[in-house]
Homo-oligomer: A and B are copies of this chain.
């Protein structure tokens, strides 16, 4: 079985996609999840073009990776300068990763028309930049931008760019279909030429503008490429990058290559949804392998055939990628994953214990209401504690009232009044804020501080809103996810309602309850 190296670029090329952006906190979470899944490389940012990435590369040093190597990505030096005086090159060096990926042009047209430099200078730019990083002791991957378009118009020059990178010491060259217009057969033939010519690790990086990024990547692997670049859920500029959630099961389950440990493949559906949630993008339910519909059978005849023999209409056993024939949240998160969460509270509970079934049933009910616990571990823990009877509410809400005024007075337009009861003692407080949720958040903290001064330690770091059935317009259900921290830990909680204030309130209550229960 041939080993492949999966190279994830969700955090770099993925964020070129419209509507995709991640905070530093988001990126750290995704790095951990990708490493857990078992990819070989995580291309995590472009420190030269994105100042936010500088903070990220500083903070990511505290994470110990088990499987993956972290990569910073950047361009060759500019024309007619030296690497030492190129600010982007220096930023890339300062990111301080063991591996860097340098991209350069392999298409003569791009060199002349876009970079506005000579073919000769472009080769020097590639050589100098790769050499610079090799001299600093880095592993270097050379991303040959527009390689296929370049090869089709000027094969000698395209190959020359690879040769120069390898002469400068590059450890691997990756062939990029940057415009996303290559066809499967030509990808096979061109990749084969490169594999036969150079004795090095060859990679493939495809875009999906013609809808064939996955097929093209597979053809490259069949031609001998062993490094496969792509993104979770196919995020990326324009029509996206090759979707690793489609590629990995194809390669590993249907073609017999080894991408990640077999056991880890079961995390795939969860990983795909987790990244969708963090990106705050609706998960594509029609996506191969990881979509809810991938193993859904509608036609009477097909459903009947599947009942007779699942092999008749299913490519793989859905559980191999952590998906299921009938989508249930509990099964998508995986009975295994839920059991892990249960065992953190009570290690004696087994997969077949009656408590496990009670919890799964409760999860199904909540899911039906629009809850999703993949990115709301705090709420999941509270739900488990409630079912197990290991939960004591820290306070009872008696009443709240929120008032929004337009026009606003002194730029504050919202007020909240809240009354709670703790161990028979009632307390009332009010606060204002920028908007109703902010006012309510301020009010509930103020009213609880008297009973639980440790509430001052915690603060909210993230607030996401998703409209679930947006066709219902302003009467639609909304899902709110809140991220909180107390400096030591951070946790996520969820609330769902047709009223955004109520949904926010539910997520807020879970957030506070989580903090207070954690301390007991």
The interface of chain A, by Cβ under 8 A from chain B, is: 16-18, 23, 25, 49, 109-110, 113-114, 178-181, 183-185, 188, 208-212, 214-216, 218-219, 222, 234, 237-240, 243, 246-247, 250, 254-255, 280, 282, 284-288, 291-302, 305, 308-309, 311-315, 328, 397, 399-407, 413-414, 433-438, 440-441, 459-467, 470-476, 478, 482-483, 497-502, 504-505, 508
Contacts and interface: CB of A to CB of B under 8 A. Distances in A.
26 contacts: A17-B286, A17-B298, A114-B305, A114-B309, A178-B313, A179-B313, A184-B218, A210-B246, A210-B250, A211-B288, A234-B286, A238-B286, A239-B291, A240-B286, A280-B467, A399-B405, A401-B406, A404-B436, A404-B499, A435-B497, A435-B498, A438-B475, A463-B472, A463-B473, A464-B470, A473-B482
Given A237-B296, A464-B470, 15 more contacts: A113-B312, A184-B218, A211-B247, A237-B299, A239-B291, A280-B471, A282-B282, A399-B407, A404-B404, A413-B502, A435-B500, A438-B499, A441-B474, A463-B467, A474-B504
B473 A280 contact: no
Nearest to A146: B312
Nearest to A465: B465
Contact of A315 (B179, B474, B482): B179
- Most chain B Cβ neighbours within 10 Å, of A212, A246, A438, A440: A212
A434 B496 CA distance: 13
A433 B208 CA distance: 44
A406 B298 contact: no
A52 to B, nearest CB: 11
A462 B471 contact: yes
Given A402-B404, A403-B403, A293 B239 contact: yes
B500 A476 contact: no
Contact of A308 (B114, B215, B238, B404): B114
A473 B501 contact: no
A395 to B, nearest CB: 14
Given A185-B219, A254-B210, A286-B240, A474 B433 contact: yes
B181 A254 contact: yes
Please name the 5 residue pairs, one residue from A and one from B, whose CB atoms are nearest each other, closest first: A435-B499, A215-B215, A460-B473, A211-B246, A434-B498
Nearest to A298: B16
Contacts of A483: 473
A308 B222 contact: no
B406 A403 contact: no
B438 A471 contact: no
A23 B184 contact: no
Given A218-B184, A237-B299, A298-B18, A315 B460 contact: no
- Most chain-B CB neighbours within 10 Å: which of A254, A284, A472, A473? A473
Nearest to A188: B185
Given A313-B178, A473-B482, A295 B254 contact: no
A237 to B, nearest CB: 6
Contacts of A413: 499, 502
A466 B315 contact: no
A282 B471 CA distance: 10
A467 B19 CA distance: 11
A428 B382 CA distance: 45
B475 A433 contact: yes
Contacts of A218: 183-184, 212
Nearest to A19: B466
A183 B302 CA distance: 22
Given A238-B294, A239-B294, A288 B473 contact: no
A499 B408 CA distance: 11
A230 to B, nearest CB: 11
A315 B209 contact: yes
Contact of A297 (B184, B238, B288): B238
Contact of A475 (B297, B305, B435): B435
A18 B296 contact: yes
Contacts of A183: 218, 254-255
A57 to B, nearest CB: 18
B474 A113 contact: no
Contact of A473 (B243, B459, B475, B476): B459
A297 B407 contact: no
Nearest to A115: B305
Contacts of A460: 473-474
Q: Which of A247, A285, A438, A483 has the most CB of B within 10 A?
A: A438
Given A180-B315, A250-B210, A401-B405, A438 B474 contact: yes
Given A463-B474, A466-B465, A497-B435, A502 B181 contact: no
A500 B437 contact: yes
A17 B482 CA distance: 22
